[in-house]
Amino acid sequence: MTRFEIKPLAGALGAEILGIDLARDLDDTTTAALRRAFLDHLVIFFRDQALAPAAFLAFASRFGEVVEYPFVAGIEGFPLITPVVKLEHEKINFGGVWHSDTAYLETPPMGSMLLAREVPEAGGDTLFANMYLAYETLSPGLRAVLDPLKAVNSSAKANVTRTREDRIRSDPTGRSNQIFEAEHPVVRTHPETGRKALYVNAGHTVRFAGMSEAESAPLLEYLFRHQTQPEFTCRFRWRVGSLAFWDNRAAQHNPINDYHGQRRAMHRVTLAGERPR
């Protein structure tokens, strides 16, 4: 087994993994230990990883099936690696709103990995939030209301479509203009840990199933504010070669758009998940 150190980043979630080279072949014992850290901390971070695209995919494949992102074409020669880029002249960043990745799909991803290729001199950090805590800190009465509900999630929600417009223009796919919509439980049970997590997000959730948007809005807005309060979060500052691997089933993230006039280029891979229950 490859020995490594786990250094928690914040009280709510997040840990840096120190002393490991992801470009090397990882044995099953090491992979299992990393997965345990991933489940315990919801997002794990690695520094100074010199991963070529093929090595990046090989590492990701140790944890699940890598799948395509529907809206933006992959990088040349590697369709499963999505470029997450903000150019110097652009004002809106890709995914720049609190969200759980592609919750509008019938089977949203288990997790995502993001690898930093170019970063601004300052800014461009990413926030992550713990959805276990978001659920567990609600009152018993509100949990009882939410437990049986489902929510409608859509790829056409205005805030999130705006954050991907530049990349769709530059790197479209055959499905870039398609609208995806799915109903999922408002509270999902994690298939590996058995814990309950709040599963609505400001980027994709438009209403509760069986209710109008107007009827749903007051409670959804409360939940959106509640689930991203500072004590549920951690903040990660990127360097070239940094890699983040987060659990899409129990965490949300938000890349901060505070580096206008500078370039930020990342590579992302997405791991197949299961239908939320």
Active-site residues, by number, are 99, 101, 253, 268
Radius of gyration, CA atoms only, the chain = 18
Alpha-carbon distances of 202 from 8, 81, 171, 192, rounded to whole Å: 27, 25, 25, 25
Continuous H helices in the chain: 28-41, 53-61, 131-136, 140-146, 158-170, 213-227
Other beta carbons within 10 angstroms of residue 244's beta carbon come to 21
Which whole-number Å values give the CA distances from 248 to 10, 171, 224, in the listed order? 18, 24, 16
Burial 134-153 (b: 16+ CB within 10 A, else e): bbeebeeeeeeebeebbbbb
Phi, psi of 10 (to 5 degrees): -150, 170
Q: Of 154, 169, 54, which is closest to residue 108 (Cα–Cα)?
A: 154
Does residue 152 contact residue 273 with C-beta atoms inside 8 Å?
no
**Token reading at 20:** 């490991």
